[in-house]
Amino acid sequence: MKNELIQSFTDNFDTHSQTTDSGVEFWFARDLQHLLEYSKWDNFQNVLSKAKTACEVSGHQVSDHFPEVRKMVKIGLDVPKEIIDFMLTRYACYLIAQNGDPRKETIAFAQTYFAMQTRKLELIQEQIHDLERLQARQKLTHSEKELSGLIFKHTQNNRNFGSIRSKGDNALFGGFSTKEMKQRMQMPDNRALADFLPVITIKAKDFATEITVFNTKEHQLITEYGITQEHIKNNQGVRDILLKRGIKPEDLPAEEDIKKLERRLKSIDKKIAKNPNKLGNNDE
């Protein structure tokens, strides 16, 4: 996510925050609905319901974080109508974002924005990058499992996947093998290469793998040779795209161990759940 977009989202979310007389920050649900790009209130209520359940399961009072309020609005020819709204604590908003679709950029941003106790832009940018990298790694794992299953189905050999993936790496990294890339990145030999790759390279590997999965099914590739050639071609194609944009994947530096990053993000989740601000029944 580009820093300019993060700045724009931050300004929008900041603008809609409000504060109770006791100093607790909150957002109205109907404002959050539009900030998260839900066009229909009914659809947003489904996510709201899941967030309330998550709040209850975590041991917190729903009424402390989702107090219901009534508002008068004008519809049609200025006809007044009473509608239901909710005052949402930062924690409530965080739970709503966690139950949204992370493929939407506004949801991905909100997951980090509401997790931060301070809204320093650089911290939001850093954590969004970490979250995107973790999600990309999880997506690659899913794609590789699907490809591995197809390879075993057709070749009846579990080892063939490792060989095919390695040859794909060789094509993506300009002739460097998986082992050589691990050495270049000074990472442990017993760990998966993708655990230390930057997000752009993880997504490149995933894209090539997705194409291989698609074409293996579409063209009914049933031999190790056929699937291998397909995977090599797809990784070479993705590499060509990167090179045209001035990106050499083999020259990008290693990033933080994905397992360490995942533990840190989980720790943030636990801290948020342990110490959420409350609106309380007096603020309804």
Give pLDDT, residue 264. Answer: 86
Average pLDDT of the residues of the chain: 88
Look at residue 200 and tell me if it is in a domain: yes
122 falls in which pLDDT band (50, 70, 90)? low
Domain that includes residue 245, residue range: 129-253
Pair 19, 106 in one domain: yes
Pair 183, 92 in one domain: no
pLDDT tens, position by position, 147-173:
999 999 888 877 889 999 999 999 999
pLDDT tens, position by position, 63-98:
889 998 887 777 666 677 788 899 999 899 999 999
Give pLDDT, residue 72. Answer: 73
Pair 148, 201 in one domain: yes
Give pLDDT, residue 21. Answer: 77
Look at residue 262 and tell me if it is in a domain: no
Pair 278, 206 in one domain: no
Domain count, the chain: 2
Query: Of the ranges 128-137, 187-196, 269-278, which is most confident?
Result: 187-196
Look at residue 59 and tell me if it is in a domain: yes
Give pLDDT, residue 117. Answer: 57
pLDDT tens, position by position, 216-265:
999 999 899 999 999 999 999 999 999 999 999 999 999 999 999 989 88
Pair 92, 142 in one domain: no
pLDDT at 205 over 90: yes
Look at residue 122 and tell me if it is in a domain: no
Pair 238, 180 in one domain: yes
Look at residue 258 and tell me if it is in a domain: no
Pair 160, 103 in one domain: no
Look at residue 120 and tell me if it is in a domain: no
**SS3 readout for the chain:** CCHHHHHHHHHHHHHHCEECCCCCEEEEHHHHHHHCCCCCHHHHHHHHHHHHHHHHHCCCCHHHHCCEEEEEEEECCCEEEEEEEEEEEHHHHHHHHHCCCCCCHHHHHHHHHCCCCCCCHHHHHHHHHHHHHHHHHHHHHHHHHHHHHHHHHHHCCCHHHHHHHHHHHHHHCCCCCHHHHHHHCCCCCCCCHHHHCCHHHHHHHHHHHHHHHHHHHHCCCCCHHHHHHHHHHHHHHHHHHHHHCCCCHHHCCCCCCHHHHHHHHHHHHHHHHHCCCCCCHHHC
Enter the pTM of the model.
Answer: 0.61
Look at residue 124 and tell me if it is in a domain: no
Look at residue 121 and tell me if it is in a domain: no
Pair 244, 166 in one domain: yes
